[in-house]
């Protein structure tokens, strides 16, 4: 599905890998890209054909997050000062990686365990 999303909306590889559920507006057929090429933000169109598949991906990601939270795993890399501003952001679905890695990772700076986005080489 990631390849279809990149082709249909014009997303670059890392933009697609770094998407978060909050960046997908299914009702408006839009995807918000934050910090893309040149560290620019932009909005791209979401192909209608992918709406159901993305809704299902968000549902699966929610289930994965709930399972992780039950196991005490609640870390995700957040941009800039989001973690200081929103204390529970790391536990909210909107801030998780939409296309998360199946493997847990450990942040080398803090030692926190959580899920990073899928590796670009796996796409």
List of E strands, 2-69: 24-25, 30-33, 42-45
- Domain locations in the chain? 2-117
Residue-wise pLDDT for 17-34, tens only, equals 999 999 999 999 999 999
The total of other beta-carbon atoms located within 10 Å of residue 11's CB is: 21
DSSP state of 113: E
pLDDT of residue 88: 92
Q: Cα–Cα distance between 26 and 78 in angstroms, integer?
A: 23
Is the pLDDT score of 123 beyond 90? no
Summarised one tens digit per residue, pLDDT across range 76-121 is 989 878 988 998 999 999 999 999 999 999 988 888 899 999 999 8
∠ Cα 61 11 5 (to 5°): 50
Report the alpha-carbon distance of residue 114 to residue 86 in Å, rounded. Answer: 18
């Amino acid at each position: 599905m990631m390849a279809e999303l990149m082709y249909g909306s014009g997303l670059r590889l890392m933009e697609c890998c770094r998407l978060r559920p909050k960046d997908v507006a299914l009702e408006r057929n839009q995807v918000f890209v934050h910090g893309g090429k040149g560290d620019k933000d932009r909005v791209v169109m979401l192909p209608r054909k992918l709406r159901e598949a993305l809704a299902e991906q968000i549902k699966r990601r929610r289930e994965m997050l709930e399972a992780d939270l039950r196991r005490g795993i609640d870390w995700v890399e957040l941009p800039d000062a989001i973690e200081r501003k929103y204390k529970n952001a790391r536990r909210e679905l909107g801030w998780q990686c939409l296309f998360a890695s199946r493997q847990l990772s450990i942040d080398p700076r803090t030692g926190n365990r959580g899920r990073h986005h899928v590796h670009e080489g796996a796409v």
